[in-house]
Structure 1
């Protein structure tokens, strides 16, 4: 396979789908086998976190389909899948889904080769960031979160009064015991 995938440092929300041209047990062990990781080698990745790589038979997605899995399970917008939906749902055998999280934010060039075939690249939907004011009254206040400054001296004065009474009692007790 001559396709190269250039991943930039800090790329987020990307999803790559590969066909895995292996059968049964060999495909099932493609993600991990005897301490080695054939998937990383076949992908040509310097870094690959197995927590963000899935290898599974498409038949596991019966009733949902690969396009439905990408849309509902991976957050790929429907408009990205529109032109590929038929191809994705016609896919059989095993697939490998890799997210950009698997690459640990590091820039690298992936050079996928047999038994991998790139089916498609997608990006996860990201909701727009909103900085609206929170509706609750309890959300209002100051950054420091401190209370009204007039309350502080009164609280300290009460505390010092208690400390003074206790200290006076101790001194009186010592004086009486010493006589």
Structure 2
């Protein structure tokens, strides 16, 4: 048994890899509503953030290849655990942190579910240098005079009025003929 696994509040960008030591019909049953939650000992989770599959389905790509190519993990993240991950045969369960909705969760997996690896997804660097151009400054656009703004509004209003009148005229002509 793996024991209790604590998912901290607000955890992001973590993928946990579990092996499933179960018969094929039991693995298939895990896709039923509430079944996986029951064997993990929790109330609810986002099923869109969970994958259950057999490593045989990955063919020559393998589990490490799937984690790099399919999940976007960096090879540097996989390398320290590549021997363990490559040795996995059979059914696998992948759970992303988003499955828990940012809530603190305590997993109590059944004896047939073993945690093999905890991997970090690459995160986006949102930092950047400040924009120094004049156009990025607040209120940097040229301000129109009130007279020019009214004239522009009148032109737009007249154009819309002319288009609507033309459409009404076309519709009336089509109805008459």
TM-score, scaled to structure 2? 0.75
Structure 1 range deviating more: 107-116 or 77-86: 77-86
Equivalent residues in 2 for 1:83-162 (5 A)? 83-132=80-129, 140-143=135-138, 147-157=141-151
Q: How does 1:3-152 map to 2 (within 5 A)?
A: 3-32=3-32, 36-132=33-129, 140-143=135-138, 147-152=141-146
Q: Using the alignment, how far apart are the partners of 2:70 and 2:42 within structure 1? A: 24
Cα distance, 1:107 vs structure 2:
0.6
Structure 1 gaps of 5+ residues are 164-179
Q: Report if aligned partners of 2:64, 2:78 keep a CA contact under 8 Å in 1.
A: yes
Cα distance in 2 between the residues matched to 1:142 and 1:43: 53
**Bigger share in helix:** 2
**Which 4+ residue blocks in structure 1 deviate beyond 3 angstroms?**
139-145, 157-161
After the TM superposition, which of the residue ranges 72-81 and 1-10 deviates more from structure 2?
72-81
SS of the aligned residue for 1:153 comes to: helix
| Residues 16 and 97 in structure 1, CA contact (< 8 A), matched pair in contact too | yes
Given that 1:61 and 1:69 are in contact with CA atoms closer than 8 Å, whether structure 2 keeps it comes out as: yes
User: C-alpha separation between the residues in 1 aligned to 2:13 and 2:53?
Assistant: 21
